[in-house]
Structure 1
Amino acid sequence: MVQSDQGNGRSELGEFLRSRRARLRPEDVGLRPFGERRRVPGLRREELAQLAGVSVDYYVRFEQGRAANVSDAVVGAVAGALRLDETETGHLHRLVRTASGASRTTGAPAVQRVQRVRPGLLQLLASMPGTPAFIVGRRTDVLAWNPLFATLITDFSTVPEEQRNKAWLVFLHEETRGRFVNWETKARDLVGYLRLDRGRHPQDPAFARLVAELSARSEEFTRLWELQEVREKTHGGYHLRHPQAGEFTLAYESLSLPDDPDQTLIMYTAEPGSPAEAALRILAAKAPDPRAVLTGARP
């Protein structure tokens, strides 16, 4: 049975809060644990309510998404009690708004606009023949890429359009999966970002379809999705392997586009004089014409 958007929002809010309570012990937050044996790990609702300065009854309704007119101050108090970081706190605010129905404007599913990459951005990708770069959209859809990024990860032109999605590729595409030496780290980062983006677009039906497919086909995805982690990826690095260039480490930088915050330009870079820089030179020599930037419009 398909739940309503509001029902789904309440479920996601409750699951997120329970997962955050489970990772804390009373002694972690300065509380004396009760003497009886605990049946579940982490803070109890009563303890969280005490820390947040609200009644137990109110917190129960809050966690179930049934509290009306929740103020930012209350959300902030709960976030503080749970020791949420900035990314988690923002995610909590969005879940509360969704659970209360504030994000709904009609009873019908929201219509998502088609994501298109501007010609100027395609020219930018083509102007970086020595830098693997791509543009990612909602749900981690890969919207555009330059030849060196395709050479580094996989030939996206041979991948069906509906599968040109970072999460799908990392979990279900053997070639892409094999590129990451630290695959578990990459997968965990990706799932955390996907859940964060899901909170930004609670009415996007394509999100539900993607999560359902990944859950059905990958036990690893299901395990990581159930952790309820949220992560904002702005920069970092990954250890990669390539059959023609060996193993090397690349850093990456993510730049959100001002005119479309749902599109992000991601560029991989190598330290000058490093083995990674030599590996990129090898791959760049094998990449197609730098002007052959590929893109698609995704709904």
Structure 2
Amino acid sequence: MDVLAWNRAAAALLTDFAALPPARRNIIRLTFLDDAFRAQYVDWPVVARECVAVLRMESGRHPDDPDLGALIAELNEKDADFRAWWADYRVAGPRQLTKRMRHPTAGELTLDVQQLSVDTDADQLLAAYTAHDAKSRDALDFLLRWSSGPRPARASSQP
């Protein structure tokens, strides 16, 4: 779940990955250890448990990966929820997900997340976030306009 590349929309929706050191550009690490990133998920426990299940699958596929081992050790040390969920041995692979987010600028969004495999490297995925409904599409459209230049005002009580 290391973020290797992103576009302007991903930076506007999730976080400014360019502002993070490359070693910290990891979705699971951010989900557990970055308070602002964590707060974006309406159903954080559901998302976080899914992250743990994916991490467990990857640790089975790559048991000798030192970076993966270091990430697991860091999360075990720093987050009680991670420790508890890691102990339940749930395993899951990439799949289509629906995530409800609370973006500080765009408001609430429901997004479908498709994780597509890369044929040339089985360890890489392309994640595509798309709007689940019209309200979320409007919020994503606003977010893209907002991130492209001068910041337009957004009313907090939009329908």
TM-score normalised by the chain length of structure 2: 0.90
* 1:266 is aligned to 2:135: no
- Structure 1 counterpart of 2:139, which letter? A
The CA distance in 2 between the partners of 1:279 and 1:177, in whole Å, is: 19
* Counterpart residue identity of residue 246, structure 1: G
1:197 maps to which residue?
Answer: 58
Whichever residue aligns with residue 283 of structure 1, its letter is L
**Aligned pairs (5 A) from 1:105-124:** none
Query: Would the aligned equivalents of 2:95 and 2:114 in 1 still touch at CA under 8 Å?
Result: yes
The residue number in structure 1 matching 2:9 is 148
Tell whether 2:151 aligns with 1:287: no
Retained in 1: the 8 A contact 2:41–2:100?
A: yes
Taking the aligned partners of 1:199 and 1:146, their CA distance within structure 2 comes to 30
User: Between Structure 1 and Structure 2, which shows a larger proportion of strand residues?
Assistant: 2
- Mapped pair 1:252 → 2:110: no
- State how far apart, in whole Å, the 2-side matches of 1:247 and 1:209 are: 34
Q: CA deviation at 1:234?
A: 1.5
Q: 1:173 aligns with which of 34, 59, 75?
A: 34
Partners in 1 of 2:103 and 2:138 — Cα distance?
A: 13
CA offsets 1:48-106 (integer angstroms, 9 cap, x no match): xxxxxxxxxxxxxxxxxxxxxxxxxxxxxxxxxxxxxxxxxxxxxxxxxxxxxxxxxxx
Residue 96 of structure 2 aligns with which residue?
Answer: 235
Structure 1 consecutive aligned stretches of length 4 or more whose deviation exceeds 4 Å: none
Give 1:288 shift.
4.0
Q: Show the counterpart of 1:278.
A: 138
Q: Which amino acid aligns with 1:161?
A: P
Q: Is structure 2 residue 63 aligned with structure 1 residue 211?
A: no
SS of residue paired to 2:94: coil
In the TM superposition, what is the alpha-carbon distance from 1:276 to its structure 2 partner?
0.3
Q: What CA deviation, in whole Å up to 9, does each residue of 1:89-130 have, x standing for no partner?
A: xxxxxxxxxxxxxxxxxxxxxxxxxxxxxxxxxxxxxxxxxx
Aligned to 1:85: none
Distance (Å, rounded) in 2 between the aligned partners of 1:242 and 1:202: 35
What is the root-mean-square deviation in Å for CA atoms of aligned residues?
Answer: 1.2
Q: Distance in 2 between matches of 1:281 and 1:201?
A: 39
Q: CA deviation at 1:233?
A: 2.2
- Aligned partner of 1:282: which letter? F
Unaligned ranges ≥5, structure 2: 150-159
Counterpart CA distance in 1 for 2:94 and 2:122 is 14
Aligned length: 149
TM-score, normalised via structure 1 length: 0.48
